[in-house]
Structure 1
Amino acid sequence: MNRITLFLCGDVMLGRGIDQIMAHPNRPHLFEPCVRSARDYVTLAEARSGPLPERVTFDYVWGDALHELERVSPDARIVNLETAVTCSEDAWPGKGIHYRMHPDNVSVLSAAKIDCCALANNHVLDWGYRGLTETLDTLQAAAIHTAGAGPNEIEAASPAMIDLAGGGRVLIFAFATESSGVNEDWAAVRGRAGVNRLKNLSADCVRAIAAQVETVRRPADVVVVSIHWGANFDFDIPVSQRRFAHGLIDSAAADVVHGHSSHHVKGIEVYRDKLILYGAGDFINDYEGITGEESYRGDLALMYFPALDPGTGKLLELSMTPTQTRRFRINRAPQEGIQWLEETLNRESRPLGAGIKRRADDTFVLRAVT
């Protein structure tokens, strides 16, 4: 094996309105200030894009992404699953937004052959500890690896390990930060379930992660650090995030830093030949028809396909396929969307030393700039 290709993307939110059009919808009731039924999100999307089908097949939401996954044939497919997979009615008290997908709809993830779901985010505990337990059990039964949440601090911190056909493994360590909405009461501790929460982005945290990676990493392994961090709707990349990402590469043997939470794509950096995605955007959600932040183009996203050297983890190539969410489905982005992504990624990545080149087939490839 002369290269390892990964599939990475932004947040995958399959609950609420999307869950309602699947074969086995949950009860639709919600506890949001202005919305009391998940069916309202279906209505909003239909007002924007036309009627939605009901009881869709499990491959429906992936749409054009399935062809791209087949074409590229990545060795490991990794997503941040920002949805509890549960029927639990233990809605987290005082939390305005609650996402859940019925466990009988878990085959939607299998339809895209997802290998690993990062769960360290601000929605996995939306339906309480019972909801988290059911999420973990359901994904395990579907043979999908998880990282970033668990019944205690040790299991929540444990990496997912994906064996590669040619030898070696992909190790996924998943973390969440307070800046993404994960408060201390969601942190997994001894005797309490929760998420793998970073206290801060300090050098001490880098050293702790480095020690953990060292205990499990083998010479042929590729290490992915998946982090839910930062505010929504903001292109700025804080100095603390850059310093932390660089520290993970310098000291913790990270080969890829997979950042998400921002609801839109952000700048890309290659540091010491290693890939840093500061914000991968929202890959799929039910926000269609919601207004207020249109300038950030949350409907547009990217399928990231980093190709890595299996011996060193160095980035050989990053190809990206532009997509757009319409009718609760992933579609190839239209020309105006491709142009917006190209211009935005070049603008935001140039200060980080990177740029985007558009290919004849309307995919992108990362390039260095000076």
Structure 2
Amino acid sequence: MAGCSRFTAFMTSDGRARPGECDDEDRVTLFLCGDVMLGRGVDQILPRPGDSALREMWVRDARAYVELAEAVNGPISRPVGFSWPWGDALRVLDAVAPDVRVLNLETSVTRSDEFAPGKAVHYRMSPDNLGGLTVARPDVCALANNHVLDFGRRGLRESLDALTEAGLTAAGAGRDARQAWRPAAVPLPGGGRALIFSFGTASSGIPPGWAAADDQAGLAFVLKPSDAAAADVVDRVSRAKRPGDIVVASIHWGTNWGYSVPAGQIRFAHALVDGAVDVVHGHSSHHPRPIEVYRDKLILYGCGDFIDDYEGIAGYEEYRDDLRLMYFASLQPRSGNLTDLRIVPMQARQMRLRHAVPADRAWLRGVVDRVSRSFGTRIALERDET
């Protein structure tokens, strides 16, 4: 594709560069992952679960999702500690020690029982279980997704309050449009900031009525990834970005399954990079999608799920959505150019992330490599892995 750089990312067991590999200390490392859903079944195994009632067609109690997972991979002792869902991922985060940690928090944090009408699935976690999020020490929780308003605007306001009280920074949702579109700012070690813009599109299932307005709480919403929408986002970035800043556009977009990327999404991502975005952090799909390096900037078209209660749900097995990825992107701090991308595969078992075994790492490397080749990206296993 025109404008693409040839680039090789490494799939590794621990995310750390070996001596001689990207050992320049003058860099910024970002941790990026896909959807973190600590609600529903996950909430029920944590120390302080909320109301388990659901209004789904087939499931009326969130504990049923725990039972489905147990039927596949064995019993889960309840309650588990707050670190349980993250499992081995916490040790990887400690070992890599990224400068900025960004995730998509795909659940409301509320006790509200105002189930959003017209939705088949509703995700909520108890505010008392926020220890299950703070244990990973995220710097920014992106909220512009299709589940954070599952319990109405009262549920959204409670979610925002709960995150603030827990010392967590959110982006992509707010009490009005100005707050929803305001980027989260994370100071960088050498000066400058990481600015995280979070927004979502209708293609991910976000109802247009969830968009924030001047006098209405809601999300930073883009109807579709058009040229006009890209220009609007670029204008927002240009007004906020200062010399030394790195900008991440965290976008909830696209369908749940499949590896193809619509041409409109590709044009949109390229337009953002052309307009001073340094990293495009895409999510919504249940499995990883292609990786591109365009004009030396990282584009993740879909990071896949990270934490959820989908373990016992049948269907789409060919995508191996039990395998999850941690992305560690190292950037030049002044230019925002990508210098190194290391990817650590995990597997969800008993609602806990564990290191993927070598055979699964090799399978996932092959898939991500195959779907990324047309974008000029290759994925290699770390040289000491088999």
Query: Is the structural similarity TM-score above 0.5?
Result: yes
CA contact (8 A) 1:338 1:362 kept: no
The answer to whether 1:158 aligns with 2:191 is: no
Match of 1:40 in 2: 64
SS of residue in 2 equivalent to 1:60: coil
CA distance in 2 between counterparts of 1:178 and 1:238 reads: 14
CA distance in 1 between counterparts of 2:101 and 2:210 reads: 26
Match of 1:4 in 2: 28
The answer to whether 1:226 aligns with 2:250 is: yes
Unpaired segments ≥5 residues, structure 1: 364-370
How do 1:275-294 and structure 2 match up within 5 A? 275-294=298-317
CA distance in 1 between counterparts of 2:179 and 2:112 reads: 22
Match of 1:319 in 2: 342
CA distance in 2 between counterparts of 1:175 and 1:15 reads: 21
CA distance in 1 between counterparts of 2:217 and 2:154 reads: 10
The answer to whether 1:72 aligns with 2:96 is: yes
Match of 2:156 in 1: 132
Runs of 4+ aligned structure 1 residues displaced above 6 Å come to none
Match of 1:264 in 2: 287
The answer to whether 1:82 aligns with 2:88 is: no
The answer to whether 1:242 aligns with 2:266 is: yes
Q: How many residues align?
A: 362
SS of residue in 2 equivalent to 1:322: strand
CA contact (8 A) 1:7 1:304 kept: yes
Match of 2:8 in 1: none
CA contact (8 A) 1:321 1:362 kept: no
CA distance in 1 between counterparts of 2:133 and 2:208 reads: 29
CA distance in 1 between counterparts of 2:163 and 2:189 reads: 22
SS of residue in 2 equivalent to 1:214: helix
CA contact (8 A) 1:304 1:320 kept: yes
Identity score, percent: 52
Residues 276-312 of structure 1 show CA distances to partners (whole Å, capped at 9, x for unaligned) of 0000000111001100111111111110000000000
| TM-score of the superposed pair, with normalisation by structure 1 | 0.96
SS of residue in 1 equivalent to 2:341: strand
Range with greater deviation from structure 2 (257-266 or 88-97): 88-97
Residues 241-267 of structure 1 show CA distances to partners (whole Å, capped at 9, x for unaligned) of 10000000002x100000000100011
Q: CA deviation at 1:362?
A: 4.5
CA distance in 2 between counterparts of 1:306 and 1:334 reads: 23
Residues 202-258 of structure 1 show CA distances to partners (whole Å, capped at 9, x for unaligned) of 11111111111111111111100000000111111000010000000002x100000
CA RMSD of aligned residues (A): 1.1
CA contact (8 A) 2:252 2:282 kept: yes
CA distance in 1 between counterparts of 2:283 and 2:339 reads: 22
How do 1:93-108 and structure 2 match up within 5 A? 93-108=117-132
Q: CA deviation at 1:99?
A: 0.4
Match of 2:351 in 1: 328
Amino acid at match of 1:158: R
Residues 39-79 of structure 1 show CA distances to partners (whole Å, capped at 9, x for unaligned) of 10000000000000212111111110011101110001000
Match of 1:209 in 2: 233
